[in-house]
Structure 1
Amino acid sequence: MNAYQQIFWKKYIAQAKLDVIYASYTKVSRSWNDENPACPFNRLYMIMEGEGFVRIGEQVFYPKPGELYLLPAGSDQAYGTISDDTFGKFWCHFSAKIGDLDLFQILHVSPFIKVNALEMFKEKFERLISWSKDSAMTSELRLHAALLDLIADYIEQSPSMKLSIGGTPTFEKMNNVLDYMAAHLSEQVSIEELAQITHYHPNYFINAFKQFTGYSPIHYMNHLRAEKAKELLLTTELSVSQIAESFGMELSYFSRMFKEHTGFKPTGFRELRPR
């Protein structure tokens, strides 16, 4: 994955729309047992005590205290008890959608992590639970922030992580477009040229691209140019005029574009460089 793709994908997954369905701490009963084919939401289980099992697809796990499990939306899920020493667990049911896709259809992570800072994670779940029950105007903002914090921790501590960028034909086509755009920053690439890569009509391509990235093609191309320009301003002695020329832009247009995307004039941004 090149640097431009990385910039795009980290912003792309940050677009996930969250909805906390329920969060709580439960000491489950001996009768706790269920199967959920193609479950439409995600589950987080942080085991604090006891024993039992969870199944994700064909894989069966016997979680231990101090482990945090993610059962991703769309998977066949099952769980149950195996003795009278039942689970005591923090848990959360939630959805995380990017367009029509679930976040963890795009980002594949390990089914569980071993929690090292258990007390810290316990406090995070307690905050999540508290905000889910709060009636303040800002409670949803706080709730989403608490869930995002847990999701980010889970992803960062996951032993394996894979970005699935070829799951659908649209993903493959748009990924090819992103590659092409990154390789032609110095050229005035037309909508028709980009649409040809996907074999879409230009009008359909514009709508599909915006739905996929959140940007119009021109806005996204300039976003890439602004990111590259930031790098050049901070790491080279090229003049602003030379950087503008490298993108095939007139200086005045480049300066306006850069300020639109960063909030700084190019010379002002360069002054942020450590001395």
Structure 2
Amino acid sequence: MRIDMNPSQLTFWKKYMAKAKLDLSYAAYTKVLRSWNDANASCPFNRLYFIIEGEGYVKVGDQTYYPKPGELYLLPAGSNQAYGTISDHTFGKYWCHFTAKIGDLDLFQILQTSAFITIKDPEALQKKFEQLIAYNKSEELTSAFRVNAIISEFIADFIEQTETVKLNLASTPTYEKMNSVLHYMEQHIADNVSIDTLSQIAHYHPNYFINAFKQFTGYSPIQYMNHLRSEKAKDLLMMSELNISQIADSLGMELSYFSRMFREQTGFTPTSFRDLKPKMIDYNETMLK
């Protein structure tokens, strides 16, 4: 997988995409009938087809594909989709329908991948689909966690095995505005940044800005600023000799507020987090041997 962006952008988008809310509708294995044929304009959900046998076609947008056994196809939500048979030797396929939403957007509206990948270990993927089908039918309290874990793994595998992944920022009309806001917050991490200032950068009314910001990032502006500060503080605690009071000052925070914020964000006090440093160094050195 190759994706062109700088490290700070990559960090943001990794966390942003991980917020996708998953919802599985159906999962099954089907040997399709000769009459299997349909077209869906702007389909509202994603389809995954793992081809076991047979022949047929799928169409995404203007592109038509003729899947082969061992290939996994993604028909992304929001796209024009069609499929059908071409002979009596019809598809035998594992399949599922699911949504992956980030706010009002579909994940694969934002993230553009190839239409299919060739599976290196078909038996392992077949087993995963069988587990997905079983968990989706299960009445166990934990079954939804299992379902989401498998769908997440499918998505991760698909992204990792796609040669080039592109971010379709045109699908996120607030991206340019919010990206300017996030950049400003990063550059003014030690300042008392007001909602009015941020909303002016985005050219939004302050009340609308707060809702738009939370929908885009998953955080309120103050939560996101504290997240930035805690990430910076973690770096300083591990990589610098500054004492905790100096780190708090560098972030424009009083010591007591900084300590409380850091613990809320990380589960550690600044002192106990710094005490992890020797253990983390030993662990990293062990892993490198």
TM-score of the pair, normalised by structure 2? 0.90
Instruction: Name which of 117, 122, 130 aligns with 2:121.
Output: 117
- Structure 1 residue 4, shift from structure 2 partner: 4.2
2:61 is the alignment partner of 1:38: no
- Give the residue type in structure 1 aligned to 2:129: F
Instruction: Name which of 156, 170, 175 aligns with 1:171.
Output: 175
CA distance in 1, matches of 2:41, 2:202: 34
- Structure 1 residue 11, shift from structure 2 partner: 2.1
Seq. identity, %: 66
CA distance in 2, matches of 1:175, 1:268: 34
2:285 maps to which residue?
none
Instruction: Name which of 210, 214, 221 aligns with 1:217.
Output: 221
Whether the 8 Å contact between 1:43 and 1:94 is mirrored in structure 2 is: yes
2:27 maps to which residue?
23
Please identify, of 120-129 and 1-10, the stretch whose mean Cα deviation from structure 2 is larger. 1-10
Where do 1:117-156 residues align within 5 Å? 117-156=121-160
Partner SS state of residue 86, structure 2: coil
- Structure 1 residue 54, shift from structure 2 partner: 0.6
CA distance in 1, matches of 2:20, 2:141: 21
Partner SS state of residue 8, structure 1: helix
Partner SS state of residue 169, structure 1: coil
2:85 is the alignment partner of 1:64: no
2:263 is the alignment partner of 1:259: yes
CA distance in 2, matches of 1:271, 1:5: 30
Q: In 2 relative to 1, CA 259–14 (structure 1 residues): closer, same or farther, beyond 3 Å?
A: same
- Structure 1 residue 194, shift from structure 2 partner: 0.5
Instruction: Name which of 188, 191, 210 aligns with 2:192.
Output: 188
2:78 maps to which residue?
74
Whether the 8 Å contact between 1:5 and 1:179 is mirrored in structure 2 is: no
CA distance in 1, matches of 2:274, 2:86: 62
Q: In 2 relative to 1, CA 19–179 (structure 1 residues): closer, same or farther, beyond 3 Å?
A: same
- Structure 1 residue 100, shift from structure 2 partner: 1.2
- Structure 1 residue 39, shift from structure 2 partner: 0.9
2:210 maps to which residue?
206
CA distance in 2, matches of 1:9, 1:252: 32
Q: Matched residue pairs, number?
A: 275
Cα deviations by residue, 1:125-180 (Å, 9 ceiling, x for unpaired): 11111111112222222212221121121112222212233424322211211111
Instruction: Name which of 226, 231, 256 aligns with 2:230.
Output: 226
CA distance in 1, matches of 2:202, 2:117: 39
The answer for unaligned runs of 5 or more in structure 2 is 283-289
CA distance in 1, matches of 2:120, 2:57: 21
CA distance in 2, matches of 1:242, 1:164: 41
Whether the 8 Å contact between 1:166 and 1:172 is mirrored in structure 2 is: no
Instruction: Name which of 235, 248, 251 aligns with 2:239.
Output: 235
- Structure 1 residue 2, shift from structure 2 partner: 4.6
- Structure 1 residue 23, shift from structure 2 partner: 0.6
CA distance in 1, matches of 2:66, 2:275: 55
Partner SS state of residue 169, structure 2: coil
- Once superposed, what is the RMSD of the aligned Cα atoms? 1.5
- Give the residue type in structure 2 aligned to 1:69: Y
- Structure 1 residue 77, shift from structure 2 partner: 0.5
CA distance in 2, matches of 1:162, 1:146: 23
Q: In 2 relative to 1, CA 45–130 (structure 1 residues): closer, same or farther, beyond 3 Å?
A: same
The answer for unaligned runs of 5 or more in structure 1 is none
